[in-house]
Chain A
Amino acid sequence: MERIFLDVAHMLAGGLVLVSFMLLYQDRMFGLLNVFALHAVVLSLSVGWQAHIQGAPHLYATALIALVLKALIIPVALHRVVIKLGIHRTIETVGGIGPTMLAGIGLVALSMVVMLRATAAADPLAREDLAFALAVVLLGLLMMVTRRNAVSQIVGFMSLENGLILAATGAKGMPLVVEISVAFSVLVAFIVIGVFLFRIRERFDTVDVQALDDFRGERR
Chain B
Amino acid sequence: MIFEWLAHLPVAPVTAVLAIPAAATIVLAVLPWYRPTAYLNVVATLATFLAALTLLAVRPEPGTYLFVDDLNIVFVVLGTFVGFTTSAFSASYIAHELEIGRLTPAYLRFYHAMYQALMFGMNLALLANNIGLMWVAIELATLSTVVMVGIYRTHEALEAAWKYFILGSVGIALALFGTILVYMAARPVIGEGHDAMVWTELSTKAAALNPELLNVAFIFLILGYGTKVGLAPLHAWLPDAHAEGPTPISAVLSGLLLNVALYAVLRFKIILAANPSAINPGPLMASLGLLSLIFAGFMLYRRRDIKRMFAYSSIEHMGLIAFAFGMGGPLANFAGLLHMMMHSLTKSAIFFAVGHISQVKGTQKIAEIRGLTESHPVLGWGLVLGVVAIAGLPPLGIFMSEFLIVTSTFAREPLLAIPLVLGLLIAFGALMLRVSEIAFGEPVGSMARVEASYVPMFSHLALVALAGIYLPSPLVAWFQNVARLLG
Contacts and interface: CB of A to CB of B under 8 A. Distances in A.
Contacts of A217: 304-305, 365, 367
A190 B143 contact: yes
A120 B185 CA distance: 11
A215 B156 contact: yes
A168 B179 CA distance: 9
A186 B139 CA distance: 10
A29 to B, nearest CB: 19
**Quick one: which of B155, B166, B169, B180 has the most chain A CB within 10 A?**
B180
Contacts of A122: 184, 187-188, 210, 213
A166 B213 CA distance: 17
A200 interface: yes
A176 B197 contact: yes
B375 to A, nearest CB: 21
B156 A175 contact: no
Q: Give the bracket for the number of chain A residues in contact with chain B.
A: 35 or more
A118 B188 contact: no
Given A174-B183, A216-B243, A218-B308, A157 B177 contact: no
A167 B216 contact: no
Contact of A168 (B170, B172, B180): B180
A212 interface: yes
A204 B197 contact: no
**Quick one: which of A153, A186, A201, A216 has the most chain B CB within 10 A?**
A216
A18 interface: no
A183 B139 contact: yes
B442 interface: no
Contacts of B196: 173-174
Contacts of B197: 174-176
A120 B212 contact: yes
Interface string B125-143: 0000010110110010001
Interface stretch (B44-52, B76-84, B157-165, B415-423): B157-165
B194 interface: yes
B28 to A, nearest CB: 20
Contacts of B180: 164, 167-168, 171, 174
A196 to B, nearest CB: 13
A159 to B, nearest CB: 11
Contacts of A71: none
A218 B184 contact: no
A35 to B, nearest CB: 20
A212 B155 CA distance: 8
B221 interface: no
A133 B177 CA distance: 9
A137 B177 contact: yes
Contacts of A171: 180, 183-184, 187
20 contacts: A122-B213, A126-B184, A157-B170, A164-B173, A164-B180, A172-B187, A173-B196, A174-B132, A176-B130, A179-B136, A184-B176, A190-B143, A191-B165, A191-B169, A198-B158, A207-B159, A209-B159, A212-B156, A215-B156, A218-B303
Interface of A: 114-115, 117-122, 126, 130, 133-134, 137, 141, 144, 153, 157, 160-161, 163-164, 167-168, 171-176, 179-180, 183-184, 186-187, 190-191, 194, 198, 200-201, 204, 207, 209, 212, 215-218, 220
Please list the 3 inter-chain residue pairs (A to B) with the smallest Cβ-Cβ separation, ordered nearest first: A173-B192, A118-B212, A176-B132
Interface of B: 130, 132-133, 135-136, 139, 143, 155-156, 158-159, 162, 165-166, 169-170, 172-173, 176-177, 180-181, 183-184, 187-188, 192-194, 196-197, 210, 212-213, 215-216, 243, 302-305, 308, 365, 367
